[in-house]
Structure 1
């Protein structure tokens, strides 16, 4: 069993000087992996998250420095028997962010697609693929609360859940 923290759109330090206490609490309790679906803004976010667990993530549309060039536009990884695709959601074809994320990962045949970009928590199942946006823990925009996600895997199944805080 693996516990995976899912975040996106941290936009730090512009939208948050540090990771919120709610997120730090989850990290201190322990996670096996961390997924960041882009718009980190600075490498310091990666460095801080790396203190807690291995970090996987993609480039968003705000990363402009040299570090960002090392980040892929799409990452595909395996956790237990669950295949996870990660994109930011700003590239590709489709009218909406979930549509672009779905279209850009279909050929990878994942079980789960993690995306960001819209800052809107989202979960939907399409053709046996779960599409998930954790929202943002630091930049809620017009959402009522900040949010993140937790993916818990077992040998052949998974559970995805949003967590909200003010």
Structure 2
């Protein structure tokens, strides 16, 4: 199984189009969205091609392939237009004998880990800064952001295939990689 991860779209149809093109080219089985899908947030400027309605339509066209969690910018009204579940603070996926704890990162993160077993992973966004590391026996992965990268990092997405998590730039270059 090949999983495609994005986070922090913040309503940008421009960056989402790029990410969905990559999702199709990579021939991934599922699209995992780790929050902050439609709203740009009070701390961010308007992103390039800010169009939450178009973003909603693009995401809904992939609804049967999406696993999503709520970010700190999601609201109940978003769930009224999004055609897949998106209001949970986390989701758990079993992958190759380990738990992947999927969350946005504003509640659970490296400083507030959920109960995980050795070899499990927490995968999130929120800070807009990519991370791929092991803390004690837990994998900590942050995709960064496809729309608003911070700390001079590139626009990124993630791919999980055959126990390798790769964070890539939207241009397809490997930015970080970790073996689970």
Q: TM-score, normalization: structure 2? A: 0.71
Counterpart secondary structure, 1:99: coil
The answer to whether residue 139 in structure 2 is matched with residue 123 in structure 1 is: no
- Count of aligned pairs between the two proteins: 149
Equivalent residue, structure 2, for 1:82: 98
Distance in 2 of aligned mates of 1:91 and 1:111: 18
1:64 aligns with 2:75: yes
Any residues of structure 2 matched to 1:1-166 within 5 Å, and which? 2-13=1-12, 16-17=13-14, 19-21=16-18, 23-41=20-38, 44=56, 46-50=59-63, 54-68=65-79, 70=85, 71-91=87-107, 97-100=109-112, 103=113, 105=114, 107-109=115-117, 111-153=120-162, 158-165=163-170
CA distance in 1, matches of 2:105, 2:141: 11
Could you say what secondary structure the match of 1:46 adopts? helix
Structure with bigger RCO (C-alpha 8 Å, 6+ apart): 1
Deviation at 1:20, TM superposition (A): 3.9
CA RMSD of aligned residues (A): 2.5
SS in 2 for 1:21: helix
CA deviation after TM superposition for structure 1 residue 108, in Å: 4.1
- Distance in 2 separating the partners of 1:90 and 1:19: 22
Alpha-carbon distance in 1 for matches of 2:161, 2:99: 13
- TM-score by length of structure 1 reads 0.76
- Checking the alignment, whether the CA contact within 8 Å between 2:69 and 2:90 is kept in structure 1 is yes
Runs of at least 5 residues in structure 1 that lack an aligned partner in the other structure: none
**Structure 1 residue runs of 4 or more that deviate by more than 6 Å after TM superposition:** none
Q: Which runs of 5+ in 2 are unaligned?
A: 39-51, 172-180
